[in-house]
Amino acid sequence: MTTRNRILIAKPGLDGHDRGAKVVAQSLRDAGYEVIYTGLRHTPEEIVKIALEEDVRVIGLSLLSGAHNHLCPKVVELLKNNNATDVFVIAGGIIPKEDVDFLQGKGVQAVFTPGTPTKKIVQYLDSLLK
C-alpha cells in the first residue's frame, strides 16, 4: 500500500493542449501529492489501465475537446468493471456548467472549470482523501 496519495492526471481523447493539466499536476506535487501524468491522447481504457497499475486514489481528467459527456462516464464505467470503485474521478477543463450535474450523476466526483484556483482543487482533494 502506498504511503502517499497518488493521483493520475490524464488527457483523454484527441485534445492536443495540456498546459492546464500540467499546471494542476505541478500544484498537486507542490502540495505533497504523488502525481502521474499520462501525456496527450489516451483512450479511457488506457487511462484506467494506468490507474490500476499505478494504484492511484484519484484520476483527474483534463478535457478541452467537448467530449467530456462521453469520455468521463466511460472512465467511471471501466473502473466499475474492474472493481475499482474506490478510485475517485474528477474532471476539469472546458466543461459547460450545464454539463456538471450530468457528469456528477454519472459518477464524476467533482468538476473544476476554467479559472478555478489550483488551491481550491488541492483543498478539495485534501478533504476527499482524509
Taken in order of first residue, the domains within the chain and their CATH numbers are: 6-128 (3.40.50.280)
Question: pTM of the entire structure?
Answer: 0.95
Those residues of the chain that have pLDDT short of 70 are 1-4
Query: In Å, how far are 48, 55, 75, 99, 121 from 44, measured between CA atoms?
Result: 6, 16, 5, 19, 22
How confident is the model at residue 21, as a pLDDT? Answer: 94
N- to C-terminal Cα distance for the chain? 16
Whether 61 and 12 have beta carbons less than 8 Å apart is answered as yes
- Alpha carbon dihedral 78, 82, 62, 100, in 10-degree steps, equals 60
C-beta of residue 64 within 8 angstroms of C-beta of residue 10: no
Residue 81's contacts (CB-CB under 8 Å, 6 or more residues apart) are none
